[in-house]
Chain A
Amino acid sequence: MSFDYQKYQSAFGNAGVGNHQFLILFAIFLGICALMYLAVIAFLVGGLLRRRRAGEANVVETGRHHRSDPLMSTGLIAWGAVVGVGLVALAIASFFADRLDAQAAADPKLTITVTGNQWWWDVQYDASDPTKVLHTANEIHVPLGVATHIILRSNDVIHSLWVPSLAGKEDLIPGRVTDLTIVPKKAGIFRGQCAEFCGTQHAHMALVVNVDPYPEFIKWWQQQLRPATAPANPLVLAGYRYVTQRECASCHTIAGTPAGGSVGPDLTHFASRRSIAAGTMPMNEGNLYGWIADPQSIKPGTKMPTVGLEPNELHAVVAYLETLK
């Protein structure tokens, strides 16, 4: 799991339809602005190289303006026209790119509700059959080439979902529902993050988007719907007991166990995710130990408290959490 997904966060990723439109818009802007810039520089260089005409009096000293030559005035009018047309072209391109991006897919095959929290993402896959509704956190899996409608909500302050490789930003506003449609074009792993300052740990509010071919996506969904694995050895059982009976269960849900808190992220398949604490650290045993022993030194201000586990409890809890694949 030492996959470096961080490098997959790029506005030039071109992995989704929204991002593709953005790149076309970017190319148009770059082209038009570069042409205008070169024209300005060409005039400047021309002006620097041009010699003063012989016998021409200094306008500033004499106060007499000579007649401007017709070529010059025609040139200036043409220049003004070019600037006007260029600006209008940019405005039109921008308008249509924005419109296309804001358009919700007519018939989205998949609806995901993403709820922003300080400082993690709650993810729910909607299904007409309630037994197929999937609850997870900080990681989104979407099928390749399928329009996915993402409904965005916030539980506390304004957040913003931004997966630059796939689509533009969209704010999550408390008390309102916003939405975003993404159509992934490339399979792979893409990093997204909160793009609206939302408190001390705003920088540690990332999420992973996994784009898989459709059959693999369905396999993942079915795997995630399964309840948590039952403890298989005494150490894991001790961890299971601690997690389900003590502080952890007050905030976290693990499907298939008595742990049913709704304050923190769902942990049913916690160990199958790529990161801990909303993209703060890669998922591995050492980081898991560190995070559970003292989350406040890793992500100061996070709502996850320092529980103060004894070493034997810590070993057991980590052993249990690692079985939650």
Chain B
Amino acid sequence: MSSRFRASFILLGAAALLAAGCSREERHSRSKPVGETVAAGASPDTIFPGGGTPPALDARARLYDNNAPAIAAGQELFSQMNCVGCHAHGGGSMGPALMDNEWRYGGRIDQIASTIAEGRPNGMPSWRGKLTDTQIWELAAYVRSLSGLPSKDAVSSRAEGMSGASPGTLTPHGKVQPSDTAQQQ
């Protein structure tokens, strides 16, 4: 076996290994219909009487953490479900800021999911039964992205939905001038 042939063979093998490492991110449009619930009772908080170690990371965390579609869906839900009403767009107002590095009830995705599902003292309502568990996990994935915790390649650089205020032309119930776009036949 000539050295040139061997070198190209090794290169080919390395390329094949590299290609095998690429995997397409899957968009989970469908959750398991029954049985998927945010762990109740065993709340993965950081608060433990007398100290102790938090439970192991929930197995579902890897489905949603660092998952671009989940973060994008969570971003939509964040404004649709009026999380902005208390937390603003992460800066916080009536509720605590979400874009800092301070987590009262833990910053792990399962801890955030648990916070959303169970609610917390001083005003955080429980969303269990108001949102599906998938939606709660998606929201948790987005909340983590507010403080830059997920890897950058998973976080979209732009908002999924409409952002900012409506332009002046969108005055509700006003007399609307016909647009200057030509009608398409």
Residue numbers of A with Cβ under 8 A of B are 22, 25, 94, 97-98, 101-102, 104, 126, 151, 153, 155-156, 160, 168-171, 173-180, 245-247, 249-251, 263, 293-294, 296-297, 300-302, 305-308, 310
The residue from B32, B80, B181 contacting A171, defined by CB atoms under 8 A apart: B181
Q: Kindly list 12 other residue pairs between chains A and B, CB separation below 8 angstroms, not including A98-B183, A176-B169, A308-B35.
A: A94-B185, A98-B185, A155-B161, A155-B162, A168-B185, A171-B184, A175-B166, A176-B179, A247-B129, A247-B132, A294-B30, A306-B33
CB of B181 within 8 A of CB of A178, answer: yes
Q: Check: B34 CB closer than 8 A to any chain A CB.
A: yes
CB of B30 within 8 A of CB of A300, answer: yes
Which residues does chain A contribute within 8 Å of B134, judged by CB atoms?
305-306
On whether A307 and B132 interact (CB within 8 A), knowing A155-B161, A297-B30, the answer reads yes
Which residues does chain A contribute within 8 Å of B35, judged by CB atoms?
308
CB proximity of A97 to chain B, nearest CB, Å: 7
CB proximity of B140 to chain A, nearest CB, Å: 15
CB proximity of B165 to chain A, nearest CB, Å: 10
CB of B33 within 8 A of CB of A247, answer: no
On whether A153 and B182 interact (CB within 8 A), knowing A300-B29, A305-B132, the answer reads no
Q: How far is the CA of A176 from the CA of B178 in the complex (A)?
A: 11
The residue from B32, B81, B182 contacting A250, defined by CB atoms under 8 A apart: B81
**In the complex, which residue of chain B has the Cβ closest to the Cβ of A301?**
B29
Q: How far is the CA of A310 from the CA of B34 in the complex (A)?
A: 8
For chain B, give the interface size range.
20 to 34
Which residues does chain B contribute within 8 Å of A246, judged by CB atoms?
129-130
CB of A22 within 8 A of CB of B185, answer: yes
CB of B169 within 8 A of CB of A177, answer: yes
Which residues does chain B contribute within 8 Å of A156, judged by CB atoms?
161-162
On whether A101 and B80 interact (CB within 8 A), knowing A179-B176, A296-B30, A306-B33, the answer reads no
CB proximity of A296 to chain B, nearest CB, Å: 4
Q: How far is the CA of A250 from the CA of B130 in the complex (A)?
A: 6
CB of A308 within 8 A of CB of B179, answer: no
Q: Check: B46 CB closer than 8 A to any chain A CB.
A: no
Q: How far is the CA of A236 from the CA of B35 in the complex (A)?
A: 25
Which residues does chain A contribute within 8 Å of B178, judged by CB atoms?
102, 104, 179
